[in-house]
């Protein structure tokens, strides 16, 4: 029986204190630990997430030892969260799903437990149900699973004005648009904006990597191109590890819990490879979240997004409407905090930093510059 949501008089809205953080750790680890205990990645990731999101240290190994002596049921956990609202409970389940997603393969027993905890909390998560069914049947995930059960469940190509695509050119959320001269010209016009503006930053971001503007042959889907603005705004490079940071930031910035599916898609592509392809362009490339330092970088992206003012659906933003604003002004308006020292020390880089570009992108950017008879002035490798 799900624990009812609190009323206005009893709801608890303050951040978790040390005692509640310890309780959250017991509940989440109870849900996601496979037979034999948490994996190394789960331990590292959960510790980093708790540190970044609550400010308190959690030792997952010590919590497991405690749980061996005193198990913590889904019913008890939900009852202990009786004062928390639907949004808080939903984020708790998303933390469980994050730790669940990095298991390869995903054990059916873990999926069952996460489903049980979600049910007791009164959280209906379509994506969690997809993972549960996938683990139970032993099948690979498909991109359509994320589209139908997550952020894009109600996507309508006819109501995507923020993409500035010509009438009838967009056939699906991740479909490319390669013959829309007006769209390509709109993107190219960003080069006329002053240095320091978001739009000029995105223009330079594309040119230094040899990217093709949406609307042109060989370009990325216009919806996927929305996340490129976030690379510049939030200061993340374009190697695979930085893509994980960007989508963590995008997912956590949006109060619509469906946005979590975008992050789940990226983790399934770039950690476990459980998803073969996604977003109309990405292909599976395993093992990137488990790279040294990535847990800290991932968790810091979540923290920064959570501290931004309001709810921000960056994939539905009309970026051209703010393209002429300085990046520094937009960051102040969002109250976007700087990266943590820990994340920077762990290797988090921006799009203009050495190491903020892949070898393939660097080569493409240099080839484009040479073809146009200009010097290459973008970031380099390190």
In the prediction, which pLDDT does 139 show?
Answer: 52
Is a pLDDT exceeding 80 seen at residue 381? no
138 has pLDDT over 60: no
Q: Which of 107-111, 293-297, 303-307 has the lowest mean pLDDT?
A: 107-111
Check pLDDT > 80 for residue 92.
Answer: yes
pLDDT at 278 over 80: yes
State mean pLDDT over 87-95.
96
149 pLDDT band (50/70/90 cuts)?
confident
pLDDT tens-digit series, residues 352-366: 999 999 999 999 999
With 60 as the cut, is the pLDDT of residue 144 above it?
Answer: yes
**Percentage of the residues of the chain whose pLDDT score is greater than 90:** 89
pLDDT higher than threshold 90 for residue 145 = no
pLDDT at residue number 137: 57
Q: What is the mean pLDDT of residues 273-291?
A: 95
Tens of pLDDT, residue by residue over 233-276, are 999 999 999 999 999 999 999 999 999 999 999 999 999 998 99
How many angstroms separate the CA atoms of 321 and 162, rounded? 9
Q: What is the pLDDT of residue 158?
A: 87
| pTM score, whole prediction | 0.96
Predicted confidence at residue 148, as pLDDT, reads 74
Bridge partner list, 283? 277
pLDDT at 346 over 70: yes
Q: Are 224 and 213 in contact (CB under 8 A)?
A: no
* Burial environment of residue 354 by CB neighbours within 10 A (0 to 12, 13 to 18, 19 or more): exposed
- The answer to whether residue 155 scores a pLDDT higher than 60 is yes
Over residues 105-127, the mean pLDDT reads: 91
Of the candidate ranges 144-158, 159-173, 247-261, the one whose mean pLDDT is the lowest: 144-158
Question: Residue 277: phi, psi to the nearest 5?
Answer: -155, 155
Say what the pLDDT of residue 54 is.
98
H helical segments located in the chain: 18-32, 40-54, 60-69, 74-80, 86-101, 108-121, 126-137, 143-149, 181-188, 198-209, 222-234, 240-253, 260-267, 294-307, 327-334, 341-345, 359-371
Q: Residue 146: pLDDT band by 50, 70, 90 thresholds?
A: confident
Please name the residues in contact with 324: beta carbons below 8 A apart, sequence gap of 6 or more: 193, 197, 198, 199
Split at pLDDT 50, 70, 90, the class of 129 is confident
Predicted confidence (pLDDT) per residue in 8-45, tens digit: 999 999 999 999 999 999 999 999 999 999 999 999 99
pLDDT over 90 (residue 7): yes
Looking at residue 380, its pLDDT comes to 80
Can you tell me the mean pLDDT for 43-64?
99
User: What mean pLDDT comes out for the span 337-344?
Assistant: 99
pLDDT in tens, 369-379: 999 999 999 99
Range list of β-strands (E), the chain: 277-278, 282-283
Nearest Cα residue to 41 out of 302, 248, 297, 290 = 290
How far apart (Å, rounded) are the C-alpha atoms in residues 306 and 230?
15
């Amino acid at each position: 029986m799900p624990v009812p949501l609190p009323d206005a008089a009893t709801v608890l809205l303050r951040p978790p204190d040390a005692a509640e953080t310890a309780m959250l750790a017991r509940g989440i680890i109870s849900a996601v630990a496979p037979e034999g205990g948490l994996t190394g990645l789960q331990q590292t990731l959960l510790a980093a997430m708790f540190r970044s999101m609550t400010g308190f240290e959690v030792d997952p190994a010590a919590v497991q030892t405690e749980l061996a002596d005193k198990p913590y049921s889904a019913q008890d956990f939900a009852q202990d969260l009786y004062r928390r609202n639907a949004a808080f409970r939903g984020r708790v389940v998303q933390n469980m799903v994050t730790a669940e997603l990095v298991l390869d393969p995903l054990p059916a027993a873990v999926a069952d437990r996460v489903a049980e905890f979600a049910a007791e909390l009164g959280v209906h998560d379509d994506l969690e149900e997809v993972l549960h069914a996938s683990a139970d049947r032993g099948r690979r995930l498909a991109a359509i699973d994320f589209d139908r059960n997550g952020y894009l469940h109600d996507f309508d190509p006819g109501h995507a004005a923020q993409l500035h695509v010509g009438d009838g050119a967009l056939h699906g959320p991740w479909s490319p648009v390669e013959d829309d001269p007006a769209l390509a010209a709109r993107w190219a016009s960003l080069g006329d904006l002053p240095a320091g503006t978001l739009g000029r930053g995105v223009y330079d971001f594309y040119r230094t990597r040899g990217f093709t503007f949406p609307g042109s042959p060989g370009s990325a889907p216009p919806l996927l191109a929305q996340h490129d603005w976030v690379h510049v705004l939030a200061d993340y490079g374009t190697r695979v590890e930085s893509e994980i940071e960007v989508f963590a930031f995008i997912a956590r910035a949006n109060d619509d819990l469906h946005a979590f599916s975008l992050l789940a898609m990226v983790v399934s592509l770039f950690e476990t490879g459980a998803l073969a392809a996604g977003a109309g362009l990405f292909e599976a490339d395993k093992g990137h979240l488990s790279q040294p330092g990535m847990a800290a970088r991932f968790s810091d992206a979540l923290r920064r997004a959570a501290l931004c003012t309001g709810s921000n659906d960056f994939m539905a933003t009309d970026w051209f409407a703010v393209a002429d604003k300085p990046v520094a002004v937009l960051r102040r308006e969002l109250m976007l905090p700087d990266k943590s020292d820990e994340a920077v020390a762990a290797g988090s880089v921006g799009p203009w930093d050495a190491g903020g570009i892949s070898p393939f992108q660097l080569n493409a950017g240099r080839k484009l510059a040479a073809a146009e008879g200009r010097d290459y002035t973008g970031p380099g490798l390190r």
